[in-house]
Structure 1
Amino acid sequence: MLRCIAVDDEAFATRLLASYIQKLPGLALAGTTTNPLEALQWVQEGRADLVFLDIQMPELTGLQFLKICGHRCKVILTTAYPEYALEGYEHDVVDYLLKPIAFDRFVRAVQKAQALLPAAAPPALPPPAAPGAPAAPTPDYLFVKGDSKNKYLKLNYADILYIQGLKNYVSIHTAGQRIITYLTLRELAAQLPQPPFVRVHKSFIISLDHLRLVDGHTLHVGQEEILVGDTYREDFFRLIREKG
């Protein structure tokens, strides 16, 4: 079992990596942070076997992080800037993932790390909850990046009608506004509770809470009409029948 941490100054990026890590057997999520100094402390304390590390971060860049931590753990770099690839490999990184990170590419990078770390330490387990302690509440919102580096918008799941994919961007529609953010539809889908959110087309995710009418293969969501794609029809109509 490889103990993994995700380090990125943008919270949505750590959430995506965390969701990927939790999907794979053989990986244990040891922590996520937007603070590279905190991550460096975790590595120095021996809490991680594998680090997913962003390059462009304030206070401490990913490359500076690599120089300080040495060979205490294996590192997979994550960044939107391909020009850093060569310098990253000079520090003996396992792999270099370009954002937006597709899940299949993530899996290939992990497989490289597993080949290098066949005898990784077991994951550190969180302390057991006290008897009768209430379960941690499930978040009913997410934050998406705004139009500047440190600007984030809070969106309640209940307010989201549907989401449209636009190459490397998504357009999130609520009753009162439309938000454009740099994220792929696949990345956003990994963060959303399913259901009520359902992928119905290569370019659309809808909220079942706001689905007013199913008319053949046409879905009426708010004031929008969205066609169910061929690839998604069988699963969508099975879900509708189960809830009927």
Structure 2
Amino acid sequence: MILTCIAVDDEPLALGLVGAFIEKTPFLQLVGRYSSAVEALQGLMAGPVDIIFLDIQMPDLTGLELARVLERSNRGAHTTRIIFTTAFDQFALDGFRVDALDYLLKPFNYEEFLRAASKARQYFELVQRVESTPVAISQAAPVEATEDYLFLKIEYQLVRVAFNDILYIEGLKDYVKVYRQSDPTKPLLSLTSLKALEEKLPSRQFMRVHRSYIVSLKNINAVTRNSVQIGVTTIPVSDQYKDVFGEFISRWL
């Protein structure tokens, strides 16, 4: 797999170094160098790339601002991923929030660069395998009848989570916590929304009972009119979901 890349940095020496590192790496192909995020954005209009090695602090348009623009446009067939290159470690959390693939703190050497590039290659290889799976499944049977797992973005990787392992999911502001039978004390933290997960989960196995909770139906131990209990955890049922939940309770009576 060859990944197309561009380098974006307003410092000529840093731009030259990243460009040289890309050209030195067999599975990367350098298709552009830009001294500003505005130039990079114009260049990307000609065609998408796989990876952008992107500085953060730049005039006119910062790397974070460019990342947010790309995040909104990453809803089509091609997804461009970002590896930030910056001298300021306080931007690490911001990089995670815009779903950056990795974060290189200047000055970095080729070994550190290669580690980040290899992580990118692993990511795209995994995405390629995941995207090829539904094609084979759809030819045989409906997706919901055959798939028994989903993939979650955990930090900078995709993690496979079996439906049967999920106890319940809690939605936070920008993240979700997925509680599992296999390790109930250590929930998986993923940068996604509860609504996005709800659309991926089979309705015969999961139910949203609150704006902040989705529960696994098979793992419910007890119910009341206003709550469900899974293990030692009591989860509230909000008014918005009481009608659907009431239909579920009727099966218990």
* TM-score class normalised by the smaller sequence: 0.3 to 0.5
* Greater RCO (Cα-Cα under 8 Å, separation 6 or more): 1
TM-score by length of 2: 0.46
TM-score by length of 1: 0.47
In our comparison, the structure showing a higher alpha carbon Rg is 2
